Amino acid sequence: MTLSVKLQETIHYLRQGKIVALPTESVFGLSCRVDKTCMKKLLKLKQRSATKGLILLGGSWTQLARYVDNSFLTSQHIEMITIPQKKVITWVVPASNDAPKLLTGGRDTIAIRLTSDPFLKDICNTLGEAIISTSANIANAQPAKDSSQVNQYFPVGIDYIYEGEIMNDNPPSKIIELLSGQVLRA
């Protein structure tokens, strides 16, 4: 498979432990690998409390599964996570012992999303791992919808901005607690 130049650049920065801004299914997101130093830098950049946790984005269930305590999940739960939905959904599921506290916010749950975006899927599959994805904004501000808004929020601190477009103009992902079905963000 021949990788596009933009994909190669994105992968290069992620492998170096850098923060990148990427268009996602509905907003621009800030991403990095699951790495303590990088996650701390990301939280500081966003001015986000470490107790809020971060979303883990994967291109396949396998990339997400190592951070999930699968003993609580049935095959129906996994099917709900892996079958494409009309609306983008982030699932809150029980976290495994491998899930870093910065990722979970110190909770026993973790927020995960199996991406439907082809570019994000290519990133995760080329890296062979899930990545952090959090909206590109300062805490409590509106998420950036394009690269110019990312630059306005973060004139410094982001190592690479992918110049692309979001998949659609929908609001950020719906967040649902998988085991209870409780909607945490509509």
Sheet holding 174-177, edge to edge: 160-161, 20-23, 28-32, 131-135, 55-58, 109-114, 89-94, 174-177, 183-185
Q: Is the pLDDT reported for residue 169 higher than 80?
A: no
Residue 24 has pLDDT above 60, yes or no: yes
Specify the pLDDT at position 129. 97
Token pair for residue 47?
Answer: 């001015």
- Overall pTM > 0.85: yes
Q: What percent of the chain has pLDDT over 70?
A: 98
Mean pLDDT score, 145-152? 95
Share the mean pLDDT of the chain. 94
Structure confidence at residue 86 (pLDDT): 82
Residue 13's contacts (CB-CB under 8 Å, 6 or more residues apart) are 19, 20, 159, 160
Nearest to 162 by CA among 19, 11, 33, 23: 23
Provide the phi-psi class of 65: left if phi over 0, else alpha when psi is between -120 and 50, else beta.
alpha
Quick one: pLDDT at residue 164? 83
Rounded to a whole number, what is the largest CA-CA distance in the chain? 45
Domain count, the chain: 1
pLDDT at 37: 97
CA dihedral 112, 113, 114, 116 (to 10 degrees): -170
pLDDT value of position 170: 74
Report the CATH number at residue 108: 3.90.870.10
Domain that holds residue 45: 5-185
What are the pLDDT digits (tens) for 55-101?
999 999 999 999 999 999 999 999 999 998 888 999 999 999 999 99
